Amino acid sequence: MALLFEKFYYPLHDKKKNHWNMIAVIIVVGIIIPFIVFTQKDLGTTFILLSIFGVMFLFGPILKKEKLISIGGVLLLAITALVGKYMITGEILSDAQKSRFDYFNPCSKYETGGYQICNGFIAINDGGLMGVGAGKSKQKYSYIPEPHTDSVFAIIAEEEGFLKCSVIFLLYIVVLYRILNLASKASTLRGRYICLGVAVYIFMHIFLNLGGLFGLIPLTGVPLPFLSYGGSFTISLMVSLAMVQRISVETKREKIRIPTLK
């Protein structure tokens, strides 16, 4: 997406050229991978990928009027695709995916769907302000499924307490702020959009993981950045931050400057 925005920057602002063929390429590139992931019934990752594409598209070099028309067209296409899927398969979401939307009052549905979230609540409540102590969590033993991945924050809250967990939130804010600040100062267009995409990538993982853990949104099972165990996610995070670091190096050297329209 970042490379396409850089490539089409001048043409998209040239009123004499046809913009729709370039916009079509951007949209196809942006939605093809989320579509493939959606067919594999991974709703959480699909939402993250669509969020990255959506934010980059909104902040992209496309004219405002064309953005609105494109968004309307994509929504119409998505509705048509969902209706077609329902007519063919008889369902849009699987039963497991539908059950995740019933996330209100999880402790009242302890045995039918609220087990994991409710035990997360218990862990966070037991931690209090100062926590029960490192390694002394009770909920991670047979109560919370996969405590080292989806619900790792609940265990940290139980052992370390609210005050120390607040530091984690502050560190997340610092990381996101520095990435977005670099995006505003990047010396290349692709650097600007890569930083923006990485910031959305990290933020959406934090939002979906903690939002599901706190019972504010459906639990999706996405990992929490820098804390959850997971090989492929760790590699993805390392690669993303390596690109951001490279953009920081390029910006300091200022080898290339962002072009300006005359």
pLDDT in tens, 117-160: 877 888 888 888 888 888 778 788 877 777 788 888 888 888 88
Are 18 and 138 in the same domain? no
Are 1 and 108 in the same domain? no
**Cα 14 to chain centroid, rounded:** 33
Question: Considering the chain, what is the average pLDDT of its residues?
Answer: 85
Of 71, 100, 129, the one marking the end of a domain is 100
* pTM for the predicted model, two decimal places: 0.84
Are 2 and 50 in the same domain? yes
Provide the domain count of the chain.
2
DSSP reduced 3-state for 109: helix
CA distances from 40 to 28, 61, 78, 81, 257 (A): 19, 32, 17, 15, 41
Beta strand spans in 91-213 (E): none
Are 113 and 215 in the same domain? yes
Of 43, 66, 100, the one marking the end of a domain is 100
Which domain range does residue 213 map to? 102-262
Locus of tokens 């996969």: 146
Are 244 and 154 in the same domain? yes
Cβ–Cβ under 8 Å, residues 61 and 259: no
Q: To which H or E segment does residue 185 belong?
A: helix 152-185
pLDDT in tens, 192-245: 999 999 999 999 999 998 988 888 888 787 889 998 887 888 999 999 999 999
Please name which of 122, 146, 131 lies closest in space to residue 215, comparing C-alpha atoms: 122
Of 100, 115, 131, the one marking the end of a domain is 100
Are 140 and 225 in the same domain? yes
Are 94 and 3 in the same domain? yes
